[in-house]
Structure 1
Amino acid sequence: MPKKRHNNQYSKPPSVAPPSLSLSSSSRASEQNERSVNQILADLRRTAPRPTGVSQNNVAIATPTVHPSIRDILQIPEVPAPRPRRPQRRDANGRRIPPGPPPPRSWTSLSQSQPTFRDFKTDKKRQRQHWPLPGAYAPKPGSLVGEVLGRIVMDWDQQRHWNQFYFYTLPSHLRTALLGYILDFYEPGLSVADLRLVLTGPADSEFEEYDVEKPDLDLMNSDISCLDLSFSVGKSLKLKKLTEFLFPPDATIESHVQESWDTSEPVFGPTKLLPNLTQLSLAIEPGTWCAVSWKQLLTLANKLPTLTHLNLSGWPQPSLTGSIREPGSRTTVEDNNSYDWSEAIMVLKRLSKALYSLEYLDLTGCVNWAPALKAESDGEFVDWVRDWGKITMLRLRSSYALSDEHTDGNVFQFADWIDIATAVEKHIIAQRAGRGRWITVEKETLTESAKAVLEGPPPSYLSIRVH
């Protein structure tokens, strides 16, 4: 059989140009092809300007090196020396700095590690300490947001009137930060009127007078989860008024006939101003413990079952009736063991059943009644397994800072507070016994000089009160 013929559709192009292409080219192109590459480069070197030896794009032109004697004979100018390389910029640690001008001093000062606003407050007069709620937003000191909020609070008496239709339109994190600045820098303190202005806007009559549409509170405050009211409760903010503001009274319900049997019956209940509130700080200032009420706190707690973080710094001994101790009073382990904690246990048990979702509890300055957290009276005790089994952080600090000029009485007082907090921690761990979450009890720590005082002979008196 004859072999099949295959016509190759693709083939390798010839390496030599066809004669037709060379014949069709112009005479000028043929002359350029006859010139060598070296001749073309030499012509470019002669025609290129070289007063500085640098092109327009700031790229040095490569020129061939010539022997100095030949350069003198041919009168060729000397090649300019290359520019010296700029030394690399390095910081104090030897790391290379990014190119460009150095940043302004204000930028570098803000980038340094600084404590956040309201992160760790210390009253220099009384050496009292306060820890805010974890995760609460606060602008950095010296930042633009912090400066603007500070200027607003400095003129708050007029700002609350002229900008009453703008505060409630700010983002939620700026509104909570503004409330924190009012707490710290406004001398009269935060009031319910200020809370209403920032969270809900002015009164309804103001909206009607200026023909402004009322905001939708369900959407406006749905992303607020933290409310820090430290040092206002008992001073400029009453707990009863706060409860009425957060949970206004129920509206009157008119009876009506449903249009269809399939229509679900509406559920009426207390309106929540902050439906997603999970963190609340009700810390009080020293000297205002008589103005707070555990009964009102229980009323508020019954309406906040989803609360996970609570700060009760400085609160007095839990009691509904009867005499109570002042927080921070002189107390020892022996005094607490012989004290009747039945009423305090009853109040704390009701609080634990209302706030069963707590994970963080700050009782700074409440060490004198902390034994009620582990005491038992007539079979009643605080349940750390079921009611408060989710708490993983319990702060039992004294709120005092032990200065370098401490006395022996101060050191022994701090040692008693540490013993009380340690006893509470051991009780909670033993009660859970692996059935609940692990808990961390934050307590005082002693310096080396204070430990040396404890190792020495005890003083003859221990009735000195911490100042």
Structure 2
Amino acid sequence: MPKKRHNNKYSKPPSVAPPSLALSSSSRTTEHHERSVNQLLADMRRSGLRQNGAQSNVIAATPTVPPSIRQILQIPETPAPRPRRPQRRDANGRRAPPGPPPPRSWVSLALSQHAPKELNAGNAGHIQHWRLPDAYTPDAGSLIDRLLRRMAQDWEQQRYWNQFYLYTLPSHLRTGLLTYVAEIYEPGLSVKDLRLVLAGPSDEKLAEYDVDKPDLNSLNGDVFYLDLAGSVGKSLTVKELNELLFPPKVEVEQPNLKDSWDAPEPLSGPVKMLPNLTRLSLAIDPEHAPNVSWKQLLSLAGKLPTLTHLNLSGWPEPSLTPNAKLARVISPVTGRSVQYGGTGPYSHNLDNDWSEAILILKRLSKALYGLEYLDLTGCGDWFPTLMKESDGDFTVDFVDWVGDWGKITTLRLYSGYALTDDSTGDQISRFADWIESATAVEKHIRAQRAGKGRWITVDKDTLLGSAEAVLKTQRLSQLMWGDVV
């Protein structure tokens, strides 16, 4: 029986293109492969230039020929290449790094927040404050910097709504927050704010919300610096800081019998707020100078023998009775009118008497004998105290840079101001006097330590060329007028 045969109506489509498309596809493919890569790139450049409307500026690349043949063939001269872009140079004539120039706020002293103020009457109440070395400072513009700055601006609300959370932050963030609040918050940092950030809310608040009282030894054991620049003398006194860091002792009744010989001894008073504090900034602005007291500073310094870094920028001349400079009393022995305080109105200018200031700095140096860094920016009016001698009771008193302060290796004697093109001759002369005093102090310390102590670095201002030229002209005119008279 023969087999049945079936014709398949549907089959697999052929893989070859139909004849109608074979010619066009083959021609395109052949044309595409015949063109080189350079031709394709040239076509792309031409099409891009046409789209940008820059076809007219394109100069055909013609091969160069010798000048004699060019004249014979009347070929136009090849256009000269474009001049190179001038290299960017900085103020010192050196090549600037590649990339766009930095913003003006980074390089201009006038636009910087921490730049020294101009030396004029309008800014006489503000000076530049330097941060403590090795203190935590977040990068400008970083997330931490923006957060701390925003919290300092809204400090009035932050210290109320987050009072149970601020003291739980890491130590470096808490000290950084205090620095920002002291610098940005207009009313200034108060002693209540310090206690809130360093120790938490009051005991009554903690008991009300059933929160355990923090252990200050473990909470502040890694706090080594405290920057209060700008708030001392404004919203915080040295006496309040002394009472916060070292509260008065309270007598505790001790039982007659101990439960165990291994039990620790009961504490005789409150624990120190910052047991490991080594860096302290008490910088002030000159407008708040009448509100600070050297007597309170000496009392605080006697309890901080481990202090290694101290900032006293803007502090007035050392005196225990600054308000009695013009006061006089009648002596009951001689009946004559004598000066009440240790420093009178003419003690420094006419009498060259720095005895009281020298005694105060001598007491300070004996209390803070471990100092390695001292910042006296803005204290140029009493720089001579650092090198003068005074005759005391059968002794000669002076600041000892070999024994008491022999460990100081960095001394800042900046003026805290900056000269401008509009500065007057008197301002330049005063600025130069501060520099000369700082230079004399540096020479005095190095001569006193000659081979006996550590090497010291004295940071001070320098006169620019224009200011130095004005100063020379002014002094020359004074000499000429003196000869004429």
Q: For residues 119 and 136 of structure 1, what CA distance do their matches in structure 2 show?
A: 18
Q: Following superposition of structure 1 onto structure 2, how do residues 18-97 of structure 1 map, counting pairs within 5 Å?
A: none
The answer to whether the 8 A contact 1:119-1:131 is kept is no
SS in 2 for 1:310: strand
Aligned equivalent of 1:453: 470
Q: Following superposition of structure 1 onto structure 2, how do residues 364-403 of structure 1 map, counting pairs within 5 Å?
A: 364-378=377-391, 379-403=396-420
Q: For residues 164 and 418 of structure 1, what CA distance do their matches in structure 2 show?
A: 47
Aligned equivalent of 1:202: 201
Aligned equivalent of 2:53: none
Aligned equivalent of 1:303: 303
- Name whichever of 127-136 and 208-217 sits farther off: 127-136
The answer to whether the 8 A contact 1:128-1:401 is kept is no
Q: Following superposition of structure 1 onto structure 2, how do residues 95-110 of structure 1 map, counting pairs within 5 Å?
A: none
Structure 1 residues 432 and 270, CA gap change in structure 2 (3 angstroms)? farther
The answer to whether the 8 A contact 1:250-1:271 is kept is no
Aligned equivalent of 1:314: 314
Q: For residues 247 and 34 of structure 2, what CA distance do their matches in structure 1 show?
A: 88
Structure 1 residues 288 and 267, CA gap change in structure 2 (3 angstroms)? same
What is the Cα deviation at residue 122 of structure 1? Answer: 3.5
Show CA shifts across 1:413-448 (max 9, x none): 122111111111111111111111111111220000
RMSD over aligned Cα atoms: 3.8
Amino acid aligned to 2:473: G
Show CA shifts across 1:258-290 (max 9, x none): 648898977847732111111100011121111
Aligned equivalent of 1:189: 188
Structure 1 residues 448 and 397, CA gap change in structure 2 (3 angstroms)? same
Aligned equivalent of 1:138: 137
Q: For residues 421 and 337 of structure 1, what CA distance do their matches in structure 2 show?
A: 21
Structure 1 residues 323 and 144, CA gap change in structure 2 (3 angstroms)? same
Show CA shifts across 1:347-368 (max 9, x none): 0000000000001111111111
Q: Following superposition of structure 1 onto structure 2, how do residues 111-150 of structure 1 map, counting pairs within 5 Å?
A: 120-123=114-117, 126=123, 128-150=127-149
SS in 2 for 1:394: strand
Q: For residues 447 and 165 of structure 2, what CA distance do their matches in structure 1 show?
A: 53
Amino acid aligned to 2:221: S
Show CA shifts across 1:264-320 (max 9, x none): 977847732111111100011121111110000001000100101100011111111
Q: For residues 197 and 363 of structure 1, what CA distance do their matches in structure 2 show?
A: 30
Aligned equivalent of 1:99: none
Q: For residues 233 and 139 of structure 1, what CA distance do their matches in structure 2 show?
A: 23
Q: For residues 302 and 244 of structure 1, what CA distance do their matches in structure 2 show?
A: 13
What is the Cα deviation at residue 123 of structure 1? Answer: 4.2
1:429 aligns with 2:442: no
What is the Cα deviation at residue 79 of structure 1? Answer: 12
Q: For residues 247 and 335 of structure 1, what CA distance do their matches in structure 2 show?
A: 36
Structure 1 residues 173 and 320, CA gap change in structure 2 (3 angstroms)? same
Q: For residues 215 and 155 of structure 1, what CA distance do their matches in structure 2 show?
A: 26
What is the Cα deviation at residue 460 of structure 1? Answer: 5.5
Amino acid aligned to 1:289: A
The answer to whether the 8 A contact 1:119-1:132 is kept is no
Unaligned runs of 5+ in 1: 1-48, 50-70, 86-91, 93-107, 326-333, 462-467
The answer to whether the 8 A contact 2:379-2:413 is kept is yes
SS in 2 for 1:280: strand
Structure 2 residue corresponding to 1:416, chosen from 433, 437, 442: 433
Aligned equivalent of 2:150: 151
Amino acid aligned to 1:189: G
1:168 aligns with 2:167: yes
The answer to whether the 8 A contact 2:302-2:367 is kept is yes
Q: For residues 238 and 429 of structure 2, what CA distance do their matches in structure 1 show?
A: 36
Amino acid aligned to 1:310: L
Q: Following superposition of structure 1 onto structure 2, how do residues 223-242 of structure 1 map, counting pairs within 5 Å?
A: 223-242=222-241
Q: For residues 350 and 389 of structure 2, what CA distance do their matches in structure 1 show?
A: 11
Show CA shifts across 1:183-207 (max 9, x none): 1221111001111111111111111
What is the Cα deviation at residue 381 of structure 1? Answer: 1.0
Q: For residues 226 and 121 of structure 1, what CA distance do their matches in structure 2 show?
A: 23
Structure 1 residues 78 and 367, CA gap change in structure 2 (3 angstroms)? closer
Q: For residues 337 and 440 of structure 1, what CA distance do their matches in structure 2 show?
A: 31
- Name whichever of 197-206 and 336-345 sits farther off: 336-345
Aligned equivalent of 2:375: 362
The answer to whether the 8 A contact 1:175-1:198 is kept is yes
Amino acid aligned to 1:293: S
Unaligned runs of 5+ in 2: 1-14, 16-25, 42-84, 86-100, 326-346, 480-485
The answer to whether the 8 A contact 1:310-1:358 is kept is yes
Show CA shifts across 1:161-181 (max 9, x none): 111111111111111111112
Q: For residues 264 and 181 of structure 1, what CA distance do their matches in structure 2 show?
A: 40
Aligned equivalent of 1:179: 178
Equivalenced residues, count: 366
SS in 2 for 1:456: helix
Q: For residues 298 and 270 of structure 2, what CA distance do their matches in structure 1 show?
A: 16
The answer to whether the 8 A contact 1:341-1:372 is kept is yes
Identity of aligned residues (%): 58
Amino acid aligned to 1:120: H
1:277 aligns with 2:290: no
Aligned equivalent of 1:329: none
SS in 2 for 1:288: helix
What is the Cα deviation at residue 343 of structure 1? Answer: 0.6
SS in 2 for 1:455: helix
Q: For residues 427 and 450 of structure 1, what CA distance do their matches in structure 2 show?
A: 26
Q: For residues 274 and 81 of structure 1, what CA distance do their matches in structure 2 show?
A: 78
- Name whichever of 258-267 and 290-299 sits farther off: 258-267
TM norm structure 2: 0.67
Aligned equivalent of 1:30: none
Structure 1 residues 324 and 262, CA gap change in structure 2 (3 angstroms)? same
SS in 1 for 2:250: coil
What is the Cα deviation at residue 242 of structure 1? Answer: 0.8
SS in 2 for 1:129: coil
Amino acid aligned to 1:362: D
Structure 1 residues 218 and 408, CA gap change in structure 2 (3 angstroms)? same
The answer to whether the 8 A contact 1:133-1:228 is kept is yes
Q: For residues 413 and 423 of structure 2, what CA distance do their matches in structure 1 show?
A: 21
The answer to whether the 8 A contact 1:200-1:215 is kept is yes
What is the Cα deviation at residue 337 of structure 1? Answer: 8.2
Aligned equivalent of 1:16: none
What is the Cα deviation at residue 140 of structure 1? Answer: 2.0
Aligned equivalent of 2:243: 244
